[in-house]
A and B are shown apart, each in its own frame.
Chain A
Amino acid sequence: MPALLPIDILLIAVCAWLAVGLAGLVAPRNTRFIAKTLFPVGALIGVLVGFVALSSLGAAPETAVLVIGLPDLPFHLRLDNLTAIFAMLLGFVSVGISIFAAGYFREGEGTAPGLLCLEYHVFLASMLMVLLADDAYAFMVAWESMALASFFLVTTNHQHDEIRRAGYLYLLIAHVGAINILLSFGVMTANSGDYTFSGMRGQHLSSFWASAAYLLALAGFGAKAGLVPVHVWLPEAHPAAPSPVSALMSGVMLKTAIYGLLRVSFDLLGSPIWWWGVVALAVGLVTALFGVLYSTVQSDMKRLLAYSSIENIGLIAVGIGLTLIFHSYRMEALAALAMTAVFYHCLAHAGFKSLLFLCTGSVLHATKERSLGKLGGLIHRMPWVAWLALAGVIAGAGLPPLSGFISEWLLLQAFLFSPGLPHPWLNMIVPVAAALVVLVAALAGFAMVKFFGIVFLGQMREESLKDAHDAGWWERIGLIWLALITLCLGIFPSSVILRIDAATRQLLGIGLAERMADHGWWMLAPISAERASYQPLVFLAVIAASVLLGRQLVHRFYHGRVRRSPAWDCGYFFQGPRAQDTAEGFSHPIRRIFEPMFRMQRHFPTARDTQPYYSVKVEDHFWHWLYLPVARLVGGISGLITLLQGGRIAIYLLYSFITLILLLLVARP
């Protein structure tokens, strides 16, 4: 019997996930069996996927052909380094989410647990199939299964009206995206009838058709990833979905879209044109800025995180754009730097955003409350969740020494080289774009402080929060796993980059490994030590040492006495939790400074109001500029078409008669 290749193991994992899902149907209402047995098994499969993918990084591509599908169109599968990175991400991140889900899903919440288990594992399996697919047909089948599985997961609590609406919007945009992807594949086959990816690589498209394929792919995968202006489903779908599903969608599914974009633009289409990169860079910058601004003004914790995901996807798109620009000018070493930043940000975001979404899940279960205005002070009742969320918050704010900082650091390093571009104005504009990236990162810090500060710190804004309880052990283990991923990505960047370098080298022909090999594993110096270096471990050690040493010295030489007293109330002792900043109040400076970016409806109390209240509602401009006009147009057209259908048989017979006459007149032999 031949030895099992990694690709075979991954296929077995796909089947195992499907089997676990089907096992959920055996006893669809037995929550205990499903949560405590099936989800942990799913997590184990995730570990397997992660480690197999990790070990296959750097190996030669493997292919396989499955004899399912259409008669003369079997499924082609391929495991190369690009696939391996994203499969690794899927495997490791899903472990934490599945373990968390084991403690999270309970009875009496919408869809039966067994059905949920099936949808969840089909979702996982189809994402892995998307990564493995090596022909357009298999890709689209997996892509659509992924979209459908996630649609059903989003609409778990389908009895609520707004959740059904959110699901509909998600499905609609997913399909607009899928059509674009399908068309893109169609362009790339160039009428050869060969739908395999290897066939597409062999086509030499003219620059017009290559650009068309690229733009279609950008639109299609962008709809899934949440690039502006097709981002609107994210802030609707994420709050609607159960938290593990939000985590999986935001952490992993968005990355499959990034995978698709990378696959098309670097692998399937041969050599890029410089303006492709500019388009991706511009769209990415707009997306990042838009996402982060809206995330700072949200009052619902899951919407805040959803907009923050939009921002991160924007940053990834900026990285892709920069890579494309460098790549098109054959500056491969710099392209490798930017691409490493892209991969790193995918990994980092998958870790910390899943962590944060799961934390909102724990908060939601403990308090039944999603609105920031009714939370607060939870660090006293939920210390585990709070401290683990803090790790996610620091990473999400792009601060050292955790994972989010590394990718931003790499991206900025890549930007520093952009003045060397041999193009008359790109070399001026692109470095300034770096300032916007920093603005986005700093605003992300604002959003994260708001998220953490309002949910976990301060006084409890509602009486009911006093009964909140900390997360159970399953949930804690899931959170700890993801926090560890965030920490490891932050502390050992060199080791991680040396691993993912295989994929960079596959796409660009050159990696960072040669130049990084001279330095130790503790030091990140992607170009040279003189140029730039960063040692997260020293960083962490100095801060930790100062904290511990400072504490010891102060206690040794002075004292450690603590007295408790009420907080200072300015002599006005009617101050309750209501005197704290609300979520809206906290973001007031942003709304004021960036006023034109928001569509706001505000209500101010007047001096004579007997029941004064203040409210502000922030809406997305794109609804009013793009979606509602399109919806009206579609509605109008369908209204015109209904005019033809009067419902009387005589009218329909008249149509047939007229058609016949016309055909006789026009189509003469």
Chain B
Amino acid sequence: MNISGLLAQLFAIVMALFLAPLLTGWVGQCRAWLQSRTAPPLLQPYYMLHKLFHKDVVLAHGASSLFRVAPFVVFGCMVLACAIVPTLSTDLPFAPAADTIALVGVFGLARVFISLAAMDIGTSFGSLGGRREMLVGFLAEPALLMVIFTTAMISQSTSVATIVETLAHREFAIYPSLAFAGIAFTFVSLAENARVPVDNPATHLELTMIHEAMILEYSGRHLALIEWASSLKLYAYSCLGLALFFPWGIAAGDSFPAMLAAIPLLLLKLTIGGFLLAVIETVNAKMRIFRAPEFLGTAFLLAVLGLLVRLLMETRV
């Protein structure tokens, strides 16, 4: 670990911090266009964060210390996730700190904290959101892990950097297993990021919300951190998906020129990805919560199918 490596790592983290709200803004804009609404400005999430940070925190009487710590922990988890997922380069000092399984663990830790914080005030919405979030969590995690297993078996490694390097440097061929895994990963990402059809980030209708129900009691800087963390999560998931399934263009070293060269391609991929996400959200309707098991069960079966295809047909590749 050297100074330039650390600087590169810091650069990647700072870039994630600033790009993530932009991605959220872009998705919101695309959604508005597709739904024939007047689009909010691209920088709307920044304005919102700025406003929220200025506002007072209004704490409910029953709030405990856990409620006040949780936004920071969730934010920290997402920063770590963004530090691990290779965005510009695969050779960063924090890459060996956690492999893909540990990455799932980071998201799990954030989920547990936000669910606990939701239960802290003791309103009916909070615990309702908390249990739904945990429900989506335990349905999505096995599917996500099967996706990871498939990629890990191709590259003989669970380290994100090694997976990306292996997948980026193979000859161009379509792996059926990766196709299955990619669809499953998309399903899981939609569920994990509280997107339509599992959840709707824009809703405040009592019976349908999951994520919004949990953070109903948050305000001011706490809410800002949670919103920022959600953006970071979307960014981390998008970058993970891009790194696993479209890994071309990520630098292999930690030199700044190589990383700078990787930025335009990343921006392009995120722009397209964000647009596709908006399309998915527009053409689908939100499901009832008890349809979520079917949705994520499908994702799980697709991922298992991908794994079996890998084991049965591609073992010689």
Interface of A toward B, CB cutoff 8 Å: 376-377, 379-380, 383, 386, 390, 393-394, 397-400, 405, 409, 412-413, 416, 419, 427-428, 431-432, 434-436, 438-439, 441-443, 445-446, 448-450, 452-454, 457-459, 523, 525, 529-535, 538-539, 542-547, 550-551, 554, 557-559, 561-570, 575, 577, 579-581, 585-590, 592-593
Please indicate the chain B residues that have their CB under 8 angstroms from the CB of A542 in the complex. 76, 79-80, 83, 94, 97
Please indicate the chain B residues that have their CB under 8 angstroms from the CB of A445 in the complex. 108, 111-112, 134, 137-138
The answer, among A416, A562, A564, A580, for a CB contact under 8 Å with B123, is: A580
A534 to chain B, nearest CB (A): 5
- Tell me if A428 and B311 are in contact (CB < 8 A): yes
Please indicate the chain A residues that have their CB under 8 angstroms from the CB of B76 in the complex. 542-547, 550
B34 contacts the other chain (CB 8 A): no
Please indicate the chain B residues that have their CB under 8 angstroms from the CB of A558 in the complex. 53-54, 221
The answer, among A397, A405, A535, A567, for a CB contact under 8 Å with B121, is: A567
- Tell me if B132 and A589 are in contact (CB < 8 A): yes
Chain B 54-97 interface 0/1 with A at a Cβ cutoff of 8 Å (1 = within): 10111111101110010011011101100100000000001011
- Tell me if A434 and B145 are in contact (CB < 8 A): yes
Q: Which residue of A lies closest to B310 (CB)?
A: A419
The docked-state distance in angstroms from the alpha carbon of A422 to that of B307 is 18
Q: Top 7 A-B pairs ranked by shortest CB distance? A: A458-B122, A546-B76, A459-B122, A442-B138, A581-B127, A567-B60, A453-B119
- Tell me if B293 and A593 are in contact (CB < 8 A): yes
* Seed contacts A431-B153, A567-B62; 7 additional CB < 8 Å A-B pairs: A432-B146, A434-B145, A445-B138, A546-B80, A567-B61, A581-B119, A587-B131
Please indicate the chain B residues that have their CB under 8 angstroms from the CB of A593 in the complex. 135, 290, 293
The docked-state distance in angstroms from the alpha carbon of A458 to that of B152 is 41
A177 to chain B, nearest CB (A): 32
- Tell me if B121 and A458 are in contact (CB < 8 A): yes
B247 contacts the other chain (CB 8 A): no
The docked-state distance in angstroms from the alpha carbon of A431 to that of B156 is 14
- Tell me if A446 and B138 are in contact (CB < 8 A): yes
The docked-state distance in angstroms from the alpha carbon of A539 to that of B122 is 31
The answer, among B80, B99, B131, for a CB contact under 8 Å with A586, is: B131
The answer, among A390, A428, A565, A568, for a CB contact under 8 Å with B312, is: A428
B153 to chain A, nearest CB (A): 6
Please indicate the chain B residues that have their CB under 8 angstroms from the CB of A551 in the complex. 72
The docked-state distance in angstroms from the alpha carbon of A28 to that of B315 is 69
For A376, A428, A458, A531, the residue with the greatest tally of chain B CB atoms inside 10 Å of its CB is A458
Which residues of B (95-128) have their CB < 8 Å from a CB of A? Answer: 96-99, 101-102, 105-106, 108-109, 111-112, 115-116, 119-124, 126-128
- Tell me if A416 and B57 are in contact (CB < 8 A): no
Q: Is the interface of A mostly helix, strand, loop or mixed?
A: helix
- Tell me if A431 and B123 are in contact (CB < 8 A): no
Q: Which residue of B lies closest to A588 (CB)?
A: B131
B308 contacts the other chain (CB 8 A): yes
The docked-state distance in angstroms from the alpha carbon of A158 to that of B278 is 64
Please indicate the chain A residues that have their CB under 8 angstroms from the CB of B158 in the complex. 413, 416, 531-532
B114 to chain A, nearest CB (A): 10
- Tell me if B109 and A419 are in contact (CB < 8 A): no
- Tell me if A581 and B131 are in contact (CB < 8 A): yes
Please indicate the chain A residues that have their CB under 8 angstroms from the CB of B108 in the complex. 397-399, 442, 445
Q: Which residue of A lies closest to B96 (CB)?
A: A533
The docked-state distance in angstroms from the alpha carbon of A391 to that of B92 is 30
The answer, among B59, B102, B130, for a CB contact under 8 Å with A449, is: B130
Please indicate the chain A residues that have their CB under 8 angstroms from the CB of B290 in the complex. 589, 592-593
Given contacts A380-B64, A442-B137, A569-B123, contact A589 B217 (CB under 8 A): no
Please indicate the chain A residues that have their CB under 8 angstroms from the CB of B217 in the complex. 567-568
Q: List 25 A-B contacts (CB under 8 A).
A: A376-B122, A380-B62, A394-B109, A394-B112, A400-B105, A409-B105, A413-B101, A416-B158, A432-B308, A435-B142, A435-B146, A449-B134, A454-B119, A459-B62, A532-B99, A543-B73, A543-B80, A546-B76, A554-B225, A558-B54, A565-B60, A568-B216, A585-B127, A592-B290, A593-B293
The docked-state distance in angstroms from the alpha carbon of A393 to that of B115 is 13
- Tell me if A566 and B134 are in contact (CB < 8 A): no
B208 contacts the other chain (CB 8 A): no
The docked-state distance in angstroms from the alpha carbon of A581 to that of B213 is 13
B162 contacts the other chain (CB 8 A): yes
Please indicate the chain B residues that have their CB under 8 angstroms from the CB of A412 in the complex. 101, 145
The docked-state distance in angstroms from the alpha carbon of A301 to that of B152 is 39
- Tell me if A532 and B157 are in contact (CB < 8 A): yes
- Tell me if A427 and B311 are in contact (CB < 8 A): yes
Please indicate the chain B residues that have their CB under 8 angstroms from the CB of A581 in the complex. 119, 124, 127-128, 130-131
B85 to chain A, nearest CB (A): 13
Please indicate the chain A residues that have their CB under 8 angstroms from the CB of B58 in the complex. 563-565
Please indicate the chain A residues that have their CB under 8 angstroms from the CB of B191 in the complex. none
For A376, A435, A587, the residue with the greatest tally of chain B CB atoms inside 10 Å of its CB is A435
Please indicate the chain B residues that have their CB under 8 angstroms from the CB of A409 in the complex. 101-102, 105
- Tell me if A435 and B304 are in contact (CB < 8 A): yes
Please indicate the chain A residues that have their CB under 8 angstroms from the CB of B121 in the complex. 458-459, 567
The answer, among A413, A439, A453, A532, for a CB contact under 8 Å with B116, is: A453
The answer, among A419, A457, A544, A545, for a CB contact under 8 Å with B120, is: A457
The docked-state distance in angstroms from the alpha carbon of A376 to that of B124 is 13
- Tell me if B98 and A535 are in contact (CB < 8 A): yes
B180 contacts the other chain (CB 8 A): no
Q: Is the interface of B mostly helix, strand, loop or mixed?
A: helix
The docked-state distance in angstroms from the alpha carbon of A586 to that of B119 is 11
B149 contacts the other chain (CB 8 A): yes
Please indicate the chain B residues that have their CB under 8 angstroms from the CB of A564 in the complex. 58-61
- Tell me if B59 and A562 are in contact (CB < 8 A): yes
A146 to chain B, nearest CB (A): 36
- Tell me if B60 and A566 are in contact (CB < 8 A): yes
Please indicate the chain B residues that have their CB under 8 angstroms from the CB of A565 in the complex. 58-61
- Tell me if B102 and A539 are in contact (CB < 8 A): yes
A343 to chain B, nearest CB (A): 19
Please indicate the chain A residues that have their CB under 8 angstroms from the CB of B101 in the complex. 409, 412-413, 532
- Tell me if B311 and A530 are in contact (CB < 8 A): no
- Tell me if A457 and B64 are in contact (CB < 8 A): yes
Please indicate the chain A residues that have their CB under 8 angstroms from the CB of B99 in the complex. 532-534
The docked-state distance in angstroms from the alpha carbon of A551 to that of B75 is 11
B275 contacts the other chain (CB 8 A): no
The docked-state distance in angstroms from the alpha carbon of A431 to that of B307 is 9
- Tell me if B106 and A457 are in contact (CB < 8 A): no
A667 to chain B, nearest CB (A): 66
The docked-state distance in angstroms from the alpha carbon of A530 to that of B131 is 37
B300 contacts the other chain (CB 8 A): yes
Please indicate the chain A residues that have their CB under 8 angstroms from the CB of B137 in the complex. 442, 445-446
- Tell me if B134 and A400 are in contact (CB < 8 A): no
Q: Which residue of B lies closest to A442 (CB)?
A: B138
The answer, among B83, B141, B289, for a CB contact under 8 Å with A438, is: B141
Please indicate the chain B residues that have their CB under 8 angstroms from the CB of A428 in the complex. 308, 311-312
The docked-state distance in angstroms from the alpha carbon of A529 to that of B159 is 8
The docked-state distance in angstroms from the alpha carbon of A565 to that of B60 is 5
The docked-state distance in angstroms from the alpha carbon of A142 to that of B166 is 55
Please indicate the chain B residues that have their CB under 8 angstroms from the CB of A458 in the complex. 62, 119-122, 126-127
The docked-state distance in angstroms from the alpha carbon of A72 to that of B94 is 63
Please indicate the chain A residues that have their CB under 8 angstroms from the CB of B126 in the complex. 458
Q: Which residue of A lies closest to B158 (CB)?
A: A532
The docked-state distance in angstroms from the alpha carbon of A656 to that of B126 is 76
B74 to chain A, nearest CB (A): 10
The docked-state distance in angstroms from the alpha carbon of A427 to that of B312 is 10
- Tell me if A449 and B112 are in contact (CB < 8 A): yes
The docked-state distance in angstroms from the alpha carbon of A564 to that of B109 is 28
The docked-state distance in angstroms from the alpha carbon of A458 to that of B66 is 11
- Tell me if A535 and B141 are in contact (CB < 8 A): no
For B94, B128, B138, the residue with the greatest tally of chain A CB atoms inside 10 Å of its CB is B138
Which residues of B (197-214) have their CB < 8 Å from a CB of A? Answer: 206
The docked-state distance in angstroms from the alpha carbon of A436 to that of B112 is 20
Please indicate the chain B residues that have their CB under 8 angstroms from the CB of A586 in the complex. 127, 130-131
Given contacts A567-B121, A568-B216, contact A400 B57 (CB under 8 A): no
The answer, among A379, A547, A579, A580, for a CB contact under 8 Å with B66, is: A379
